[in-house]
Amino acid sequence: MPTIALLSSVADMRHLHQAFQEEFPEARLRMGDDLGALCEIDAAVCWRPPPGLLARMPNLALIQSAAAGIDHLTSDPTLPDVPVFRIIDPAMAFGMASYVCWAVVHRQRAMADYLAHAQAHVWKPRRLEPPQQHGVGIAGLGTLGLACAQALMALGYRVRGWSRTPRSAPAGLQAFHGDAQRDQFLSGCDTLVCLLPLTPETMGILSRDLFERLPRGAHLVNVGRGAHLVEADLLSALDDGLLRAATLDTFVEEPLPPAHPFWHDPRITVTPHIATATSPVVIARQTRLNLERLRQGNAQAAAVDLKRGY
Ligand code: NAP
Ligand code: GLV
């Protein structure tokens, strides 16, 4: 009967309680301020856990990220040497694909203008720019990036993707990889979608140096992590016309502070880290499955490669 701690410094983890009771009834749950004896905890399910806490659990055997990303774990220098798992969920990929398609279509078809016109009862159709003439690049061709690429191709966009290592890409997707092919990839991105994990290599990657390699007037969509973006570089790139617009779902500081300039800039669309999410049931099921894999000694293939960082 494993003892599982549900840990977060920012979210109320009680929303997972019912799903764990249904999907993993034999688990003993600990959460909130009263975690009991830390030596009794076998596994931790985490979203931005308090730094240093996991290191104080001497018998911890498994860390389950309650998210696709694990940067909220690897940012803790005291992270114990325990297998880490992340959520891989097709429903989450569909959620991301719908957000990214919305962001691309919204700007490419100037929907914000039509919504403003409708408010003013103005009838002002524009010539349609065919999607085949608009290049969308997905930086990060993983579980989420591939689903976005496929959905955008189904809408007729010209799609390309960039990964760290060579990947077999679905028909119609132009694939690039590694630093050597980065600039070639960027040169065809009228919209650039960031779906990279946050690692030392990708932190601050959305910088002026990168914006200068995009076609002039490109649209940036950041659904990765806030720290991928150098915020001051975005504002100056918009001012200089290097970029035309940005759609941002993630931020260095969340919630985005009320006085932050991004809120007030009509060129920037802000959403509150909602591009996609998994469900409590999936988190409970994957925690159970991963503990089972660990018990059977075959967890290695499913665990995150912490040397790679994602
Ligand atoms: P994933 O399956 O691990 O895919 C990551 C992709 O990024 C892979 O294609 C990988 O290349 C590529 N990559 C990693 N480092 C790179 C580098 N230095 N240069 C070029 N490519 C690099 O991750 P995922 O499940 O798709 O999730 C991606 C990220 O989305 C998460 O880490 C999280 O931060 C973010 N996310 C955001 C939301 C939201 O609501 N906004 C929700 C979920 C997730 P290889 O294929 O060569 O390994
Ligand atoms: C959310 O941002 C996630 O990483 O799942």
Name the residue of 74, 89, 276, 310 to mutate for ligand 2: max ligand atoms within 8 A of Cβ: 276
Residue ranges of the chain with per-residue pLDDT less than 50:
none
For 243-282, what is the HEC assignment?
EEEEEECCCCCCCCCCCCHHHHCCCEEECCCCCCCCCHHH
Ligand with the closest atom to the CA of 93: 1
- Dump pLDDT digits (tens) for 14-56: 999 999 999 999 999 999 988 999 999 999 999 999 999 999 9
Q: Looking at residue 210, what is its pLDDT?
A: 98
CA–CA gap between residue 41 and residue 21 (Å, rounded): 17
Q: Is 99 in the pocket of ligand 1 (CB under 6 A)?
A: no
Of all protein residues, whose CA lies closest to atom 17 belonging to ligand 1?
164
| 156: DSSP letter | T
Q: Are 48 and 11 in contact (CB under 8 A)?
A: yes
Taking Cα atoms as reference points, which of 153, 140, 148 lies closest to residue 94? 148
**What stretches of 30-133 show up as alpha helix (H) in DSSP?**
71-74, 90-108, 111-119
CA–CA gap between residue 263 and residue 168 (Å, rounded): 39
For residue 90, report the phi and psi dihedrals to the nearest 5 degrees.
Answer: -55, -35
| Catalytic residue annotation | 225, 273
CA–CA gap between residue 51 and residue 53 (Å, rounded): 6
CA–CA gap between residue 42 and residue 79 (Å, rounded): 15
Q: Are 35 and 45 in contact (CB under 8 A)?
A: no
Q: Is 132 in the pocket of ligand 1 (CB under 6 A)?
A: no
CA–CA gap between residue 192 and residue 178 (Å, rounded): 16
Name the residue of 98, 143, 167, 195 to mutate for ligand 1: max ligand atoms within 8 A of Cβ: 195
Q: Are 159 and 138 in contact (CB under 8 A)?
A: yes
Q: Is 186 in the pocket of ligand 1 (CB under 6 A)?
A: no
- For the record, the structure tokens of 117 come out as 């016109």
Helix (H) or strand (E) run with residue 218 in it: strand 218-222
- Between the CA of 251 and the centroid of ligand 1 the distance, in Å, is 16
- Between the CA of 65 and the centroid of ligand 1 the distance, in Å, is 14
CA–CA gap between residue 126 and residue 229 (Å, rounded): 32
- For the record, the structure tokens of 129 come out as 């720019």
Q: Looking at residue 44, what is its pLDDT?
A: 98
Q: Looking at residue 270, what is its pLDDT?
A: 98
Taking Cα atoms as reference points, which of 61, 11, 56 lies closest to residue 32? 11
- For the record, the structure tokens of 124 come out as 């002002």
Give, in order, the Cα–Cα distances in Å from 22 to each of 1, 69, 275, 280, 281: 15, 25, 27, 10, 8
Which residues are near ligand 2 (CB < 6 Å)? 67-69
CA–CA gap between residue 60 and residue 255 (Å, rounded): 31
3-state secondary structure of 236: helix
Structure pTM? 0.98
Q: Which residues pair with 136 in a beta bridge?
A: 159, 191
- Between the CA of 279 and the centroid of ligand 1 the distance, in Å, is 19
Of all protein residues, whose CA lies closest to atom 1 belonging to ligand 2?
67
Of all protein residues, whose CA lies closest to atom 36 belonging to ligand 1?
224
- Between the CA of 255 and the centroid of ligand 1 the distance, in Å, is 22
Closest ligand 1 atom to 223 CA: 41
- For the record, the structure tokens of 24 come out as 């993993």
- Taking the alpha carbons at both ends of the chain, their separation in whole angstroms is 30
- Between the CA of 68 and the centroid of ligand 2 the distance, in Å, is 5
Closest ligand 1 atom to 275 CA: 40
Of all protein residues, whose CA lies closest to atom 4 belonging to ligand 1?
142
- Between the CA of 125 and the centroid of ligand 1 the distance, in Å, is 38
Ligand with the closest atom to the CA of 10: 2
